[in-house]
């Protein structure tokens, strides 16, 4: 459980994901990537830059690398083209060429925007993901989605672009705030809900160890979540079919996230979005009321968000309809027919969406 | 000679290039691409938008497509992220989703920036190239390079992204200004110089028919140039080796282009850049003086640019060294050992560059 290899659709290995307990292994990983004589730029937000960025940059210099640190203000508000342009400027000022490498050190915002900068600087340079939040470890670090928000639209601008490697220090989870850790747990339990009843059971039984941040339990959890996500994105890298299942909880979740002006974390919105989607599944007659209750109980037992402030019907529905996952005029909802088995439903009515939303206010 | 098919490195067909004599064939081409019920956005600059954009947009509407026209001010100064953001806004306002399609109608600037917008809007939507300048027909429409300039840096931001098809109306060449036509001829004769002595001979012998815009001769010429470029980019899509040969004339050419503040057309700069590169090949002892003279004569006989205003030594060398084609600290020059055979040389000295430059002032 120290390593996974992600493959492309014709089964060629693309990159390794390492699960370690410190940042020490970064140096040998970089040596294995043929980056000798190349420049490295560690990209971090202001918080993670202070916490780990400076130390890692120093560690790389001591190992003989040319290494610089670029930081930007922490928060979703920085995930835009203007921050990316600031990074381009920094790379140009440091004469980075197409053989040099970015290291994305931080959470989902850092990974998404660094990946996008790597995808577009000089038509694409290499980058290594070093996710430090739970959300980014189990979700955004794998699957090749990069991008930034544009105006009020989340991830409106981006590219599918794969990292050269992903390096996970599981112990970085111990420095997360409780709120951020739980936001990541939203995606973790989602993996159980959509694909793996056994994993759901593991998460239910190991709750105390997980919340107590036991290193080995965390490593098992991150590993099992990555295995589920990896299997889905390997079969459907560009989200033409199955990969959409990973959006369970995300349609109403995104709407809530947007209408709250991003005052809630993504994972918190996904948590309530999953409760609403389970409720929709009950309304559509595919999921039992008992399973919907189990889903709510699981989220609640972890202390995750289960309620949001009320929203207007027109606001909610119009944002749902404009969500980028919509295909033509229909909204694709991900529903469940049991815990561990999700499917795509394009026949959900506005009335059903509104009724399901009542379950989370 | 009506069609080519471009393949990827494992020989899978990616897209078709059609060579036609009007824009009529666009409708059947679009029908073959499975775009029924999809929205189309024709992207053009202010000049080509007036000349062809409105008519084509109307033609598509009459054929039953949802079709809108986006135009931006003509010129290299528009090739930046701000124009791309304007296009994102336009697509959002027209509710374009990930299944909709952009049509890049125009020259290299339009193709590069539309391709980049397509590569990055919602992490990638389809686009069809409809090159109308000679330069874009034989060069930028094939090979998957998209991008925009950033600050003073040409093509600093971009992506490798393939069109779904390329549609060429050879007769569009007849509405080009003489200056633009000749700028494109720079890339055409380059194809002969670097790869194909027979094509060089064709261009020498057919000069009058080409300059007289004979439709069949133009079609043969565009077809032969595309075949040469296609063979190179199919073998080396990401410019890791052989594709660099297409940069013959481009290192000094780019420097001249930049130091003249883009007052000269790209093709004009390539023309003088090729004379300088041939001179460099003579200095390095690989090309005969006779062949270098033939190259200058060919360019001169077509009325292409052979001289530029004087530049400062430091300016020229520093821009050459910062050119993005540099690999680490060395400049990769493309030199010739005969007409029809180019190679990469990384050992050119600053003194040799400066001496070669004297041949074009």
At B29-65, the pLDDT tens digits run: 999 998 888 999 999 999 999 999 999 999 999 999 9
Amino acid A239: pLDDT: 85
Amino acid A358: pLDDT: 96
Of B21, B234, B239, B352, the active-site residue reads: B239
Element (H, E) at B135: helix B134-135
CB spacing of B158 vs A85 below 8 angstroms: no
* Residues in chain A closer than 8 A to B95 (CB atoms): 322
Mean pLDDT of successive 10-residue stretches along chain A, which has 361 residues? 90 95 96 91 98 97 96 95 98 95 97 98 98 95 95 92 97 95 94 97 98 97 97 91 93 92 88 97 97 97 94 93 61 94 93 95 92
Residue of A nearest to B147 (CA): A123
Of A190, A224, A229, A305, the active-site residue reads: A229
Amino acid A262: pLDDT: 80
* Residues in chain B closer than 8 A to A156 (CB atoms): 88, 92, 121-122
User: What is the spatial distance between Cα A271 and Cα A306, in angstroms, rounded to a whole number?
Assistant: 7
Q: What is the DSSP string of B61-95?
A: HHTT-EEEEEEE-SSGGG-SHHHHHHHHHHHHHTT
Amino acid B323: pLDDT: 61
- The answer to whether residue A321 is catalytic is no
User: What is the spatial distance between Cα B198 and Cα B296, in angstroms, rounded to a whole number?
Assistant: 18
Provide the token pair at A153: 């639209």
Element (H, E) at B247: none
- The answer to whether residue A37 is catalytic is no
Residue B72 has pLDDT above 80, yes or no: yes
Of B11, B123, B208, B314, the active-site residue reads: B123
Q: For testing the chain A interface, which of B11, B86, B120, B162 should be mutated: the one with the most A CBs within 10 Å?
A: B120
Other Cβ atoms closer than 10 A to A25 = 16
Of A11, A123, A178, A208, the active-site residue reads: A123
Element (H, E) at B192: helix B178-195
Task: Answer whether A158 touches B (CB < 8 Å).
Answer: yes
Of B92, B98, B99, the CB nearest to A153: B92
The minimum CA-CA distance between B166 and chain A, rounded to whole Å, is 21
Task: Answer whether A11 touches B (CB < 8 Å).
Answer: no
User: What is the spatial distance between Cα A338 and Cα A341, in angstroms, rounded to a whole number?
Assistant: 5
The minimum CA-CA distance between B121 and chain A, rounded to whole Å, is 5
Confidence class for position B328, pLDDT limits 50, 70, 90: low
Closest CA to A163 of A1, A6, A4, A3: A6
Q: For testing the chain A interface, which of B37, B123, B322 should be mutated: the one with the most A CBs within 10 Å?
A: B123
Cα–Cα distances (Å) from A85 to A320, B83, B163, in that order, read 30, 15, 26
CB spacing of B151 vs A89 below 8 angstroms: yes
Amino acid B104: pLDDT: 98
CB spacing of A37 vs B124 below 8 angstroms: no
Residue of B nearest to A327 (CA): B97
Amino acid B275: pLDDT: 97
Q: For testing the chain B interface, which of A84, A99, A118, A120 should be mutated: the one with the most B CBs within 10 Å?
A: A120
CB spacing of B124 vs A328 below 8 angstroms: no
Amino acid B298: pLDDT: 97
Helix (H, G, I), strand (E, B) or coil at B310: coil
* Residues in chain B closer than 8 A to A157 (CB atoms): 88, 120-121
* Residues in chain B closer than 8 A to A332 (CB atoms): none
Residue B326 has pLDDT above 90, yes or no: no
Amino acid A329: pLDDT: 63
Of A81, A120, A151, the CB nearest to B158: A120
Pairing mode, strands A101-106 and A126-131: parallel
CB spacing of B99 vs A153 below 8 angstroms: no
Task: Answer whether A94 touches B (CB < 8 Å).
Answer: no
Task: Answer whether B86 touches A (CB < 8 Å).
Answer: no
CB spacing of A322 vs B123 below 8 angstroms: no
The minimum CA-CA distance between A287 and chain B, rounded to whole Å, is 30
Task: Answer whether A150 touches B (CB < 8 Å).
Answer: yes
Cα–Cα distances (Å) from B80 to A66, B131, B325, in that order, read 30, 19, 20
The minimum CA-CA distance between A289 and chain B, rounded to whole Å, is 35
Residue of A nearest to B116 (CA): A120
Task: Answer whether B151 touches A (CB < 8 Å).
Answer: yes
- The answer to whether residue B31 is catalytic is no
* Residues in chain A closer than 8 A to B327 (CB atoms): 97-99
CB spacing of A328 vs B37 below 8 angstroms: yes
CB spacing of B150 vs A88 below 8 angstroms: yes
Q: Which of A30-39, B165-174, B208-217 has the lowest mean pLDDT?
A: A30-39
Close Cβ partners of A358 (under 8 Å, ≥ 6 residues apart): none
Task: Answer whether B120 touches A (CB < 8 Å).
Answer: yes
- The answer to whether residue A145 is catalytic is yes
User: What is the spatial distance between Cα A241 and Cα A218, in angstroms, rounded to a whole number?
Assistant: 30
Closest CA to A227 of A181, A185, A192: A192
Confidence class for position B250, pLDDT limits 50, 70, 90: very high
CB spacing of B123 vs A89 below 8 angstroms: no
Of B37, B81, B157, the CB nearest to A121: B157
Looking at chain B, the whole-number percentage of residues with pLDDT higher than 90 is 87
Confidence class for position B262, pLDDT limits 50, 70, 90: confident
Higher pLDDT, B288 or A324: B288
CB spacing of B160 vs A88 below 8 angstroms: no
């Amino acid at each position: 459980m120290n390593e996974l290899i992600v493959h492309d659709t014709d089964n060629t290995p693309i990159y390794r994901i390492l699960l370690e307990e410190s940042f020490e292994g970064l140096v040998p990983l970089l040596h294995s990537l043929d980056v000798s004589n190349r420049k490295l730029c560690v990209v971090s937000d202001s918080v993670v830059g202070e916490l780990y960025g400076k130390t890692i940059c120093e560690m790389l210099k001591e190992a003989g690398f040319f290494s610089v640190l670029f930081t930007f203000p922490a928060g979703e508000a920085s995930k835009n083209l203007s921050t990316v342009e600031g990074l381009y400027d920094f790379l140009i000022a440091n004469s980075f060429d197409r053989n040099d490498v970015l290291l994305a050190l931080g959470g989902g915002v850092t990974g998404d925007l660094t990946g996008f900068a790597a995808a577009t600087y000089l038509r694409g340079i290499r980058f290594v993901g070093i996710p430090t939040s739970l959300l980014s470890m189990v979700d955004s670090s794998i699957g090749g989605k990069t991008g930034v928000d544009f105006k009020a639209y989340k991830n409106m601008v981006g590219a599918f672009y794969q990292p050269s490697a992903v390096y996970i220090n599981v112990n970085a989870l111990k420095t997360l705030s409780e709120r951020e850790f739980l936001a990541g747990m939203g995606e973790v339990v989602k993996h159980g809900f959509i694909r793996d009843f056994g994993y759901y059971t593991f998460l239910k039984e190991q709750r105390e160890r997980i919340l107590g941040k036991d290193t080995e339990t965390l490593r098992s959890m991150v590993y099992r979540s990555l295995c589920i996500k990896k299997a889905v994105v390997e079969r459907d890298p560009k989200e033409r079919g199955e990969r959409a299942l990973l959006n369970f909880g995300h349609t109403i979740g995104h709407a809530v996230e947007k209408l709250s002006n991003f005052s809630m974390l993504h994972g918190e919105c996904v948590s309530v979005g999953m409760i609403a989607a389970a409720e929709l599944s009950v309304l559509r007659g595919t999921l039992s009321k008992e399973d919907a209750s189990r889903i709510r109980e699981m989220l609640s037992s972890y202390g995750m968000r289960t309620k949001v402030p009320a929203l207007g019907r027109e606001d909610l529905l119009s944002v749902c309809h404009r969500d980028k996952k919509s295909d033509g005029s229909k909204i694709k909802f991900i529903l469940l027919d049991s815990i561990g088995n999700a499917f795509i439903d394009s026949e959900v009515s506005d009335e059903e969406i509104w009724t399901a939303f009542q379950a989370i206010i």
